[in-house]
Amino acid sequence: MSRILANATVDIERAAAPTRLGRFRVEVWGEVPHDFCRVYTIQATSDTLAAQEGLRRFVEDVESLIAEKG
């Protein structure tokens, strides 16, 4: 398994409140050789947790693409 380096930015679409999850737009882009971009809409209790989930999903996507290429 290769190491996947990536960055993320988070935009708040709907702020989280004590009684509901927030909705965040998370843009994740990887560094070479995984230099492509993905955008995820994530519901979470904070922007930090949304960013972490976006990065997790990005890694999952990249690992899936690597597996397909064989």
Tens of pLDDT along 40-61?
A: 999 999 999 999 999 999 999 9
Number of domains in the chain: 1
Q: Which domain holds residue 63?
A: 6-69
- Confirm whether 32 is domain-assigned: yes
Please spell the DSSP secondary structure of 1-22, one letter per residue.
-----EEEEEEEEE--BTTB-E
Average confidence (pLDDT) over 22-26:
98
Task: Tell how far CA 54 is from the center of its chain.
Answer: 2
The pLDDT value given to residue 1: 58
The alpha carbon torsion through 28, 32, 36, 38 (nearest 10 deg) reads -20
User: At residue 67, does pLDDT exceed 70?
Assistant: yes
CA–CA gap between residue 59 and residue 66 (Å, rounded): 10
The pLDDT value given to residue 20: 96
The pLDDT value given to residue 69: 84
Average pLDDT, rounded, for the chain: 94
58 burial class (0-12, 13-18, 19+ CB within 10 angstroms)? buried
- Confirm whether 1 is domain-assigned: no
